[in-house]
Structure 1
Amino acid sequence: MSRAEPVAAPPARAFALLGSELSVLFRRRRTWAMLAALALVPILVGIAVRIRSSSNGPAFLAAISDNGLFVSFTGLTVSIPLFLPLTIGVVAGDTIAGEASLGTLRYLLVAPTGRVRLLLVKYAGAAVFALAAPLVVLLAGVGIGALLFPIGPVTLLSGNTVGIDGFAVRALLLAAYVAVSLLGLSAIGLFVSTLTTVPVGAMAATIVLAAAAQILDTLPQLDWLHPWLFSHYWFGFADLLRDPIAWDSFGQNALLQLGYIAFFGGLAYGRFATKDILS
């Protein structure tokens, strides 16, 4: 009698599935095109300031001219309202609907994967992209800033000055803050993706919801709603540019995003667990 083939343990299968998901995600030309577009944001900011710097312009222009490291902060600030949500909408909206449109969703579920595990892996892939995206913006900003402008110690919003190492720590914290900020939107995109087999529709819906949340957050008549909007704390990372660091916004933002993850993750599971998979 031949010995049965060993079966991988559930955690091993989950990690293998996650590795496959990340491999597929970061081998797509679309993913690299979006990351390149994000990198272009601080590059264009740096070139624009270099070509036409003026002491009469906004304060951040003078700061960039004096220290190229500020290009990364400016690029991240410019990217948060539109460019980062747009890319997250594309990635998260494609998670389930993309597999359904390609006809591979049934194949994934035939394998010993399970619907819960597949949802978790798909969300984890979107979360990894949510971290990679702001890191690309920051690194591109540092690179173009060092190329076009002098770099040196950074003056924080509190008036204190930190060296390059202190800047590096805060830059990583900024990337982490923005990544956390995008996790709620990623959960929304995952849920929307379970509602359709048309990935473009799920992507568009997620992007529109991100824009709508930001518009609602600007209306004073809805000030009671603002703290509950997933975009409310997106610009709270300024507290990380103080000495000592103020962690209040980070904690409030993380708690809010966790609530969105739990709520829309539960909706995604409820929809996906009872959905007839036909493709």
Structure 2
Amino acid sequence: MSQGEATGLGAPAETPARAEPAAETAHLRPFALLGSELGTLFRRRRTIAMLVALAAVPVLIAIVVRITHAGSGGRGPAFLGSITDNGLFVGFTALVVCIPLFLPLTLGVVAGDTIAGEAGLGTLRYLLVAPAGRIRLLVVKYAGVVAFSLAATVVIVLAGIGIGALLFPIGPVTLLSGDTVDAGGFFVRTALMAGYVTISLLGLGAIGLFISTLTTVPVGAMAATVVLAGVSQILDQLPQLDWLHPWLFTHYWLGFGDLLRDPIVWDSYGQNAVLQLGYIVVFGCLAYGRFATKDILS
């Protein structure tokens, strides 16, 4: 008989010491998985290239307006004249340009790659063995989509503000309602616009996540997600489908212009948030229903 057994301090004394780190590891595992997902996502050359391309949009707009004086003297859209008067409008203009095409395109690439990309690489099975759990993996993958949506919007806004300050005067801003606010007040409204656009993309992200569970070919999931964004915008322009418009996830995408009024009109913000939440719930449940019953072979 060993000394530990004789004193009764052998195995029982070691069990709590081993259980405590295990419990701590189990508690931290979701955050470790999320950190790994975000690190992998934002280290990819594809992700960096897409963010750089989005940042180039406001830079290109500002340079073109600076060279051609678009918006002045009746040349070009009227809101381009606002850029000439105040460089802070570059970020707003870039969001208007990016949200119909460039943001859905880049988000479709990220969302379509969430599950299908892992399956195509043969790493999905190992993620589930980790153990990650299917629900946890879906939540972490969608969190990556949300993080990219926020990062893409912030990159556009910051690039717009930076190039606008470099090429045009900065000062009090005349809002769409005709009222004037100082630069600080406009920065607050710009932050609200960035939040609005990020929220607007969450429904599309949920749709892309669901489509990604249906295939092992990430390119197919990416293309389907982007095409659905285009189809929804086309349907939103058909007056014969007025009854359908409030249910389309793209219907309120350009409603952030209401944030440039005094007082701010919050109707679009609330309606857009509720609509996107509905898409998240519906397509999140569909993604889980598909993924939970799917045979993972790769």
- Which TM-score band (shorter chain)? over 0.9
Q: 1:195 to 1:39 in 2, by over 3 A?
A: same
Who is 2:162 aligned against?
A: 143
Deviation at 1:11, TM superposition (A): 4.4
Who is 1:18 aligned against?
A: 34
Deviation at 1:59, TM superposition (A): 1.5
Take 2:27 and 2:171, find their aligned partners in 1: how far apart are those partners? 46
Which residue, out of 101, 110, 117, partners 1:82? 101
Take 2:131 and 2:226, find their aligned partners in 1: how far apart are those partners? 33
Which residue, out of 194, 209, 223, partners 1:190? 209
Matched, 1:118 2:124: no
Equivalent position SS for 1:59: coil
Which residue, out of 224, 237, 244, partners 1:218? 237
Who is 2:64 aligned against?
A: 48
Matched, 1:61 2:77: no
Who is 2:194 aligned against?
A: 175
Equivalent position SS for 1:101: helix
Take 1:159 and 1:50, find their aligned partners in 2: how far apart are those partners? 24
TM-score, scaled relative to structure 1 = 0.97
Could you list the per-position Cα deviations for residues 18-56 of structure 1 after superposition, in whole angstroms to 9, with x for gaps in the alignment? Answer: 111000000001001000110111111001000100322
Take 1:140 and 1:95, find their aligned partners in 2: how far apart are those partners? 27
Matched, 1:105 2:121: no
Deviation at 1:106, TM superposition (A): 0.5
Identity %: 73
Deviation at 1:138, TM superposition (A): 0.6
Which residue, out of 210, 213, 219, partners 1:200? 219
Which residue, out of 92, 102, 108, partners 2:111? 92
Deviation at 1:164, TM superposition (A): 1.4
RMSD: 1.2
Equivalent position SS for 2:178: coil
| AA partner of residue 59 (structure 2) | I
Could you list the per-position Cα deviations for residues 153-177 of structure 1 after superposition, in whole angstroms to 9, with x for gaps in the alignment? Answer: 1111122211111111111100000
| AA partner of residue 55 (structure 2) | A
Structure 1 runs (4+) deviating above 3 angstroms are 1-5, 8-11
Matched ranges for 1:210-249 at <5 A: 210-249=229-268
Unaligned 5+ residue runs, structure 1? none
Take 1:217 and 1:11, find their aligned partners in 2: how far apart are those partners? 45
Take 1:137 and 1:217, find their aligned partners in 2: how far apart are those partners? 25
Deviates more, 1:192-201 or 1:162-171: 162-171
Which residue, out of 176, 180, 189, partners 1:157? 176
Which residue, out of 30, 42, 63, partners 2:46? 30
Who is 2:92 aligned against?
A: 73
| AA partner of residue 183 (structure 2) | I
Deviation at 1:112, TM superposition (A): 2.1
Unaligned 5+ residue runs, structure 2? 1-10
Take 1:74 and 1:218, find their aligned partners in 2: how far apart are those partners? 21
- Count of matched residue positions in the alignment of Structure 1 and Structure 2: 279
Could you list the per-position Cα deviations for residues 209-248 of structure 1 after superposition, in whole angstroms to 9, with x for gaps in the alignment? Answer: 0000000000111111000000000001111111221111
Who is 2:6 aligned against?
A: none
| AA partner of residue 56 (structure 1) | G
Take 1:33 and 1:55, find their aligned partners in 2: how far apart are those partners? 37
Q: Radius of gyration: which is bigger?
A: 2
Deviation at 1:145, TM superposition (A): 0.6
Take 1:12 and 1:216, find their aligned partners in 2: how far apart are those partners? 45
Who is 2:284 aligned against?
A: 265
Deviates more, 1:39-48 or 1:239-248: 239-248
TM-score, scaled relative to structure 2 = 0.91
Equivalent position SS for 1:55: helix
Deviation at 1:62, TM superposition (A): 1.5
| AA partner of residue 32 (structure 1) | I
Q: 1:265 to 1:10 in 2, by over 3 A?
A: farther
